[in-house]
Amino acid sequence: MPATLKTDVLVIGGGATGAAVAWDCALRGYETVLAERRDLAEGTSGRFHGLLHSGGRYAVKDPNAAVECIEENVILRRIAADCIEDTGGLFVTTPDDDAAYGDSFLEGCAKTGVPTEEIDTAEALRREPRLNPAIKRAFTVPDASIDAWKTVWALAHAARGRGATVLPYHGVVDVLREGDAVVGARLHDEHSGEQVTVEARMVLNASGAWAGQVADMAGIEGVEIIPGKGIMIAMNHRLVNTVINRCTMPADGDILVPIRTVSVIGTTDIRVKDPDEPEITQDEVEQMLDDGERLVPGFRQARAMRVWAGVRPLFQDAKATGSSRDVTRAHTLLDHHERDGVTGFLTITGGKLTTMRLMARDIVDAMCAQLGDDRPCTTDKVVLPGSEDLEPYHISERLKAKEDHLLDDQLVCECEMIPRARLEATMRERDTTNLDDIRRSLRLGMGPCQGGFCIYRATGILHGVEQLDAPQANGSLRNFLEERWKGVWPILYGDQLRQARLDDWIFQGLLDVEHLPQ
């Protein structure tokens, strides 16, 4: 990589929004560089519950957001079919909820264009037999689950296909100014330790919860982002096959999303100071488990596999008080020319994964306006790589692929059904020594055994594919175990504790990873 890159646009932030912005820029013919300080979708985008909103959740409280959601829901199903599973969704009135809200819900959905239908509770229970049998009402909506990592990488691949340069592990250390114009940024290559200067006509800040920090580096004051922490817990299998929402004003612990091989309960909403490494408290875990019990009785007996926290980027409204859930959910575009008299720099923040494409369109439209270019957005029409057949993802896809190669390939990760050839190809393509990067690309080690069996195998394979020396491979293995533990220890009980102890036996008792050469 040359020490200086010249480009039309530098996009800062490799989450869903940043990747969508890079794709939109590249598609409109701009030379584009995307810089992400860690791995793509390692921040908020990779730490959510996996819900592709129908808009039902906002139908009463925030009709504008509901309209955006349902419009984007339809578009994403078309352009990113392979990333989406058409689970459908249900809003259910639990015994603790006011049945009258269902009427407001129906009315809100009608006004905002969210397709819904009230069904018999018996029918809802027939579709989802584990649901609380005491539910009072049930409504169908076109919710779905969306794989954020797959989506972000599809966007990145699409952008690369149009000439964009995508740079994971390149953190911005300084935003460069010439007078009243932003003219680029200095990046730190986290792997080589070297600095890369990017000179750009426009710098687009899509760094989500970190957008205030990036704006600061550009010398722009007052971009206050409130990180709103939410925790989520993945259960080891699909307790439901439909997205289940509580039919009530949006609150904590009111959604259960079946995604890939797991189901995810979410979420809390607590304002935090620092978006990095948000803490998971025991109280939040208890609250999620109790909320899960309300939706699916017996939830506490099921196996909680992993817990994580994400931080929503919520733009500070001067009037905002109290819970960050009351701050606007719709996204915010800051034109720093209008706001601060600084050209060449725009910020997009807030919003949600479902509306990432819309957010990208808005900021790139604003950029075109500033540059005086007439280049309309077409991201709603161009299908992303991998989704060309327009067929939505189906949970049985990996099983089918495995059947096809049963007699000629090895399975490395049994839980997520990852064959060796696929793993090796991904290692080569990612060119990384970090097994956590591979996890995000393939879901390696994300199943019930949490890497107990596959991570040793993957380390051995990585050692060969990437020609690592022993300390590098040991570092990868140790790092994976330590990262995994962060998402495991707050929820260790029941069968998952038993699994964790078996994993301890393997990694410490059998392999003695602790005493490997450093």
Partner 1 sequence: MTSPGWAAPSYDVLVIGAGLAGLSAAARLAEGGAKVMLIAKGVGATHLGPGTIDVLGYAPDRVERPGEALAGLGGEHPYARLGGADAVARSVDWFKRQFDGGPLGAYGYRGDLGENVLLPTTVGAPKPSAVVPETMAAGDLRDDAPMLVVGFYALRDFHAAYLADNVARGGVPARSLVIEGRVDGRPEANSLGLARAMENADSRAEIVRQVERGLDGAARVGFPAGLGAEDPHGVWTALQEQLGRPVFEVPTLPPSVPGMRVFKTLRARLRERGGRIVLNSEAVLAVRDGIRVEAVRATAAGRQVDYRARWIVLATGGVASGGIALDSHWRARETALGLPVHGVPEPGGPRFGADYFGEHPFSRAGVAVDDGLRPVDGEGVRLLENVLVAGATLAGAQPWKEKSGDGVSLASGHRAAELIMEESR
End-to-end, the C-alpha distance of the chain in Å comes to 29
Alpha-carbon distances, residue 380 vs 16, 73, 225, 454, 508 (angstroms)? 15, 11, 28, 39, 50
Query: From the CB of 452, what's the least distance to partner 1, in Å?
Result: 9
Residue 371 Cβ, how far from partner 1 at the closest point, in Å? 48
Of 162 and 420, which CB lies nearer to partner 1 in the complex structure?
A: 420
Q: Could you give the CA distance from residue 155 to residue 379 in angstroms, rounded to a whole number?
A: 10
Beta carbon of residue 408, minimum distance to partner 1 (angstroms, whole number): 6
CB 260, min distance to partner 1, A: 23
Sequence-ordered strand ranges (E) for 304-385: 304-315, 332-335, 345-349
| Cα separation, 231 vs 488, whole angstroms | 13
Closest approach, Cβ 511 to partner 1, in A, equals 5
CB nearer to partner 1: pick between 357 and 457 = 457
User: Interface with partner 1 by CB under 8 A: which residues?
Assistant: 282, 289, 300-301, 304, 407-412, 420, 453, 456-457, 459-461, 463-464, 469-471, 473-474, 477, 481-482, 484-486, 489-490, 492-494, 497-498, 501-502, 504-506, 508-517
Exposure b/e, 476-508, CB count within 10 A at least 16 = b: bbbebbebbeebbebbeeeebeebbeebeebbe
Of 161 and 494, nearer to partner 1 (C-beta) is: 494
Phi first, then psi, for residue 298 (nearest 5°) are: 95, 5
Residue-wise DSSP of 334-345: EEHHHHHS-BSE
> Which whole-number Å values give the CA distances from 285 to 50, 274, 290, 491, in the listed order?
19, 20, 9, 7
Structure tokens at 492: 């260790």
Q: Which is nearer to partner 1, 364 or 458 (CB)?
A: 458
Distance CA 198, CA 176 (A): 9
When the beta carbons of 373 and 504 are compared against partner 1, the nearer one is 504
CB closer to partner 1, 301 vs 321:
301
Q: Could you tell me the two tokens for 105?
A: 């819900």
Residue whose CB is less far from partner 1, 360 or 411? 411
Least Å distance, CB 261 to partner 1, is 20
Name which of 258 and 292 has its Cβ closer to partner 1.
Answer: 292
Q: How far is the CB of 269 from partner 1 (least distance, A)?
A: 23
Nearer Cβ to partner 1, position 264 or 363? Answer: 264
**3 state DSSP class of 48:** coil
Q: How many CB atoms lie within 10 A of CB 45?
A: 23
What CA–CA distance (Å, rounded) separates 316 from 322? Answer: 12
Considering the complex, state which of residue 389 and residue 408 has its C-beta at the smaller distance from partner 1.
408
Cβ-based nearer residue to partner 1, 133 or 509: 509
Structure tokens at 67: 């309209």
3-state DSSP assignment of residue 44: helix
CB of 450 to partner 1, least distance (A): 12
Distance CA 146, CA 258 (A): 10
Q: Give the separation between CA 514 and CA 518, rounded to whole angstroms.
A: 9
Nearest approach, Cβ of residue 293 and partner 1 (Å):
9
- Evaluate whether 435 touches 458 at the Cβ level (below 8 Å): yes
Q: In this structure, are residues 137 and 42 in contact, taking their beta carbons and an 8 Å threshold?
A: no
CB of 320 to partner 1, least distance (A): 32
Cα separation values, 159 from 32, 275, 481, Å = 8, 27, 33
Considering the complex, what minimum distance in angstroms separates the CB of residue 267 from partner 1? 18
CA gap 251, 267 in Å, rounded: 8
What minimum distance in Å lies between the beta carbon of 512 and partner 1? 4
Whose CA is closest to 229, among 188, 202, 269, 199? 269
Residue number with CB closer to partner 1 (157 or 402): 402
Could you tell me which residues come within 8 angstroms of residue 402 by beta carbon, excluding any fewer than 6 positions away? Answer: 411, 417, 419
